[in-house]
């Protein structure tokens, strides 16, 4: 999943992600979450998206759940 947002510090994005983590764990069965790509390496640019990798629990591995998670938007500040 890739997230496109206005440019912000990586620490701010991680804080927002941590704030919604309980919701996405309960709602979508997310067991692990990580950031990879240019943002994780620290060489992202203003037009870069944020690549997010998630692992789902086996009982949440459905196409419907995957699509719902892909459509999830973090609330604005």
Of 68 and 15, the one with more pLDDT: 68
Note the pLDDT of residue 50.
Answer: 83
Residue 76 lies in a domain: no
How is the chain split among helix, strand and coil, in percent rounded to 5? 45, 20, 35
Asked if residue 77 belongs to a domain, the reply is no
φ, ψ of residue 48 in degrees (nearest 5): -70, 145
Token pair of 54 as six digits: 């998630």
Question: 53 forms bridges with which residues in the sheet?
Answer: 34
Residues 12-61 pLDDT 10s: 878 888 899 999 999 999 999 988 998 888 888 878 888 889 999 999 99
Q: How many domains does the chain have?
A: 1
Q: Which domain does 9 fall in, by range?
A: 2-70
For residue 36, being part of any structural domain is answered with yes
Question: Residue 1 pLDDT more than 70?
Answer: no
Q: Could you tell me which residues are beta bridge partners of residue 72?
A: none
Domain presence at residue 75 = no
């Amino acid at each position: 999943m890739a997230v496109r947002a206005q440019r912000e510090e990586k620490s701010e994005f991680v804080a927002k992600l941590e704030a919604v983590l309980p919701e996405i764990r309960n709602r979508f069965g997310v067991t692990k979450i990580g950031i990879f790509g240019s943002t994780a390496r620290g060489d992202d640019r203003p037009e870069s998206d944020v690549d997010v990798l998630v692992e789902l629990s086996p009982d949440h591995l459905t196409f419907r759940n995957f699509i719902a998670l892909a459509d999830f938007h973090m609330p604005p500040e």
